Amino acid sequence: MLNITASRRAKKNLVELNIAPLIDMVFILLIFFLVNTSFVKEAGIEVNRPSATTAELQKKAAIMVAVDRENRIFMEGREIDIRAVRANVERALAENPEGGVVVISDKISNAGVVISVMDGCRMAGAENISLAATVPQK
C-alpha cells in the first residue's frame, strides 16, 4: 500500500510541457507572413534583354509580360495572343491593383510588337509600365 501512494505522489509532481500554444503561435506567424508577402509572377521564358546604362531596379513590378525573338507573347508561363494582352493585364491588375507592368523583350524582337504590348497594358489601366533591360558589364 505504501508503494502505491508514493507512486501516485511522484506522478503528481511531474511537469508537463504543453506545446499546443507554441504550435498555434507558429501557425499564426506563418499566416501573417503569407498574407503580407507579394508574389511576383514571372513571364515564364528566357529572353536576351537589351542593355541600357540608365537601367533602374523597379520595386513594385508584379506583372511580367515577355516578347521572345519570334515575337511570341508570354504571360505567367503561357503564350497569349496580342489581342489578349489587355484582358490578361486587366485580370492581373484586378488581383494586384498597385502592381506595375514590366515588358521583357528580346534584343531582336520586333519593336512594333513591343509597342503594341505596351499599348495593351496602358489600355488595361496600368499606370507604371517599364521595359526590362540589363546593366552593361564594366
Whole-structure pTM value: 0.62
Q: Is the pLDDT of residue 38 over 60?
A: yes
The highest-level CATH class for domain 61-131 is alpha beta
With cut-offs at 50, 70 and 90, classify the pLDDT of residue 134. confident
Examine the pLDDT at 33 and tell me if it is beyond 90: no
The pLDDT-based confidence of 57 (bands split at 50, 70, 90) is low
Q: What is the pLDDT of residues 73-114, one digit of tens each?
A: 998 888 999 999 999 999 988 888 887 888 888 888 888 999
User: Average pLDDT, whole number, for the chain?
Assistant: 81
| Structure confidence at residue 37 (pLDDT) | 73
Residue 59 has pLDDT above 90, yes or no: no
pLDDT of 58 higher than 70: no
pLDDT band at residue 3, thresholds of 50, 70 and 90? low
pLDDT at 121 over 70: yes
Question: Which long-range contacts link 121-127 to residues 24+ away (Cβ below 8 Å)?
Answer: 121/65, 121/85, 121/86, 121/89, 123/86, 124/85, 124/86, 124/87, 124/89, 124/90, 124/93, 125/89, 125/90, 125/93, 126/63, 126/89, 126/93, 126/100, 126/101, 127/100
